Amino acid sequence: MKIALSQLNFRIGNFTYNIARILDEIEKAEKENVDLLVFAELAVCGYPPLDFLDYSHFIDRCKESIRIIAENCHTVTVIVGGPAFNPDPKGKDLFNAAFVLEAGK
């Protein structure tokens, strides 16, 4: 198994830029026959998002960005960081999550 770690400088709240950088890395990984490509914590929205996490539209943009990235994962499995709502009323409202993306999902 060939694993690649991608350490990029993402821009907080600049989803267009962050998605483009992630998709570029996925394309490179495909050319290098990488099986698993791992990105940093909260890569999809940039780190640290601080007060942006208080806004549901920001979290929605993160989810949409992850969907777009997933649609471009065909031959490489990708792990990308982003916030996720906690469905349990106990505990904090958000998780600092790692999303596993493969086969377009």
Give me the pLDDT at residue 90, please: 87
Architecture per CATH, domain 3-101, reads as 4-Layer Sandwich (3.60)
Give me the pLDDT at residue 31, please: 96
Place of tokens 């596993």: 100
57 touches 85 (CB < 8 A): no
Place of tokens 């026959």: 33
Tens of pLDDT along the chain (105 residues)? Answer: 999 999 999 999 999 999 999 999 999 999 999 999 999 999 999 999 999 999 999 999 999 999 999 999 999 999 999 999 888 888 888 999 999 999 999
Within the chain, residue ranges assigned H as helices are: 15-31, 56-71
Give me the pLDDT at residue 71, please: 96
Nearest to 45 by CA among 11, 94, 93, 75: 11
